[in-house]
Structure 1
Amino acid sequence: MLAERPVTTENAGNTEPGAGFEAAWCATDLGEHRPCRYTYEHYAYESLPPLDSARFTGDFAWLGGPGAASPERGAALEALDGALAAHGLALSADFIAFQAGERTHRALDEVSVTACWTSISQPLPCPGEPGAFLVRFLRDQQDCVLWYLCLRPSGETFVVWSPVDFAYEYERGGEGGEGGEGAASGAAELRAEIRWCAPSFEEFAYRFWAENRIWHAVHGSGPAELDRPLRDYLGHYGPIRTSPHTP
């Protein structure tokens, strides 16, 4: 069994979580409130509705909790954690709880309006950062964008996204070629394709889930069907036109 570990603030003492990566959120539209020219748009992170990080303690209360852990998924996560342990790294507690939980492990797949699906990789070296590794956990159906957990030897764990499938890149030739200047140049090019997007897995999961729920509402029966936290999230982008009887 995976050893229980305390849920901590992943970036405690770090005033710049994800330092070394540009920050941006990759997502689709929220109707007229936040347009999108293509399937996905890259939105400046500072333009997003702020989230209260204190809400995200690893219990996923906003989804009703993760539920019972699946022994099969738990074993797979234990094997992945063991592979990371060989590099002095460990999966975050919130990632384990979500991916093992019967109630949560498909929550992002089920809500995604662009047919994203859960796909957990083995540890992948983070380009240009010795000692750090990536674990892919979610991908667009056409691989337009893939999301990764990034783990650093410092203990910092956060979420990044990229249009690059790093598992495929490493299978076909390593981090940046055969060595020397070519390898360094290749690693730099791959690293430039990575964007930081959330300080913890649960915060990423909430924002992804919330925005996809909002998309369904604004393209369906309207924002009035949303609960107050999601209407407040949408209201960050301007006044919401709803029925005067909306609570």
Structure 2
Amino acid sequence: MTVRFEAEWCHHELGPHRECAHTYELYPSDTLPPLDPGLFTGSFDWLGGPSGEPVPESSEAELARLERAVADLGLALPTDFLTYHRDGRLLWSLDDVAPAGNWTDLSGPLPSPVEPGAYLVRFFRDQQDCVVWYLYLRPGGECFVVHSWNEYESDYELLAEGELTEEETADPAAIRWCAASFEEFAYRYWVESRIHRDFTDGDGPTDPRLLAYLAHYAQQQPGA
């Protein structure tokens, strides 16, 4: 059974261009600025591309363990995800711009609670776990990014201890599709985080890339 997840983006307000009632808001994907697919070549050129700088040995070892665990399931981590996490300049680029102190944190492969044979890999989380982002890996090689208000690694520990039931974890509505690839997620998150910070710290962005992103919202205004 293949599950179709609701498509929503989770982030913050963008100055006067997009409101946010709480710390985070869910925004239907069809209301977001469209992205140029030509940006997503797997090389992260919009971040300057890979530098060849090494990552800390602990990070390298953690990624290697994850890669082996995923391979043991007959699955594979996407190339763009590996490129980002193996390069000293790219790694933590999202942490650096995160408005709410979000941070990179890898889990091992976690069985999808709603789709047999599929797995979740946590890679980024809010500091209070208000939202957690995962790779969603399906047999056959399909991979995309989802987010959830559930921290499934902890949920499975509680399940094993009898403090949660399978019915409580098996809710498809708790998982939302948010990007077709890791690099696409990274780009939108990086852009929106910089816009949010520029409005928080000053009068708004001046970077042409950020202004081009905001132009979508200006076009939605009455009389535009």
Offset, 1:230: 1.1
User: Any idea what SS the aligned residue of 2:196 has?
Assistant: helix
Please report the TM-score for the alignment, with normalisation by the length of structure 1. Answer: 0.82
Partner of 1:244: none
What TM-score does the superposition give when structure 2 sets the normalisation length? 0.90
- 1:123 pairs, out of 109, 123, 129, with 109
1:166-204 Cα shifts (integer Å, max 9, x gaps): 000001115x999xxx64x34532x32000000000000
Aligned length: 215
Residues 92 and 157 of structure 1 are in contact (CA less than 8 Å); yes or no, is this contact kept in structure 2?
A: yes
Unpaired runs of at least 5, structure 1: 1-17, 240-247
Query: What is the match of residue 66 of structure 1?
Result: 50
Q: What code does the residue aligned with 2:72 have? A: A
Between structures 1 and 2, the one with greater helix share: 2
Gaps of 5+ in 2: 220-224
2:124 counterpart of 1:138: yes
Partner of 1:242: none
Counterpart CA distance in 1 for 2:3 and 2:50 is 30
Q: Which residue of 2 aligns with 1:233?
A: 213
- 1:95-174 equivalences under 5 Å are 95-174=81-160
Correspondence for 1:33: 17
- Aligned to 1:229, the other structure's residue is in SS state helix
Q: CA deviation digits over 1:92-123, x for unaligned, max 9?
A: 11101111211111111110111101111011
Work out whether residues 120 and 137 of structure 2, in 8 Å CA contact, stay in contact via their aligned partners in 1. Answer: yes
Equivalents in 1 of 2:139, 2:3: separation in Å? 14
* SS of structure 1 residue aligned to 2:73: coil
Pairing partner for 1:195 from 176, 183, 186: 176
Identity of aligned residues (%): 50
How much is the aligned-residue C-alpha RMSD, in angstroms?
1.9
- Alignment correspondent of 1:211: 192
User: Which residue identity does 2:213 align to in structure 1?
Assistant: Y
Q: In the alignment, does 2:64 pair up with 1:78?
A: yes
> Which position in structure 2 is the counterpart of 1:7?
none
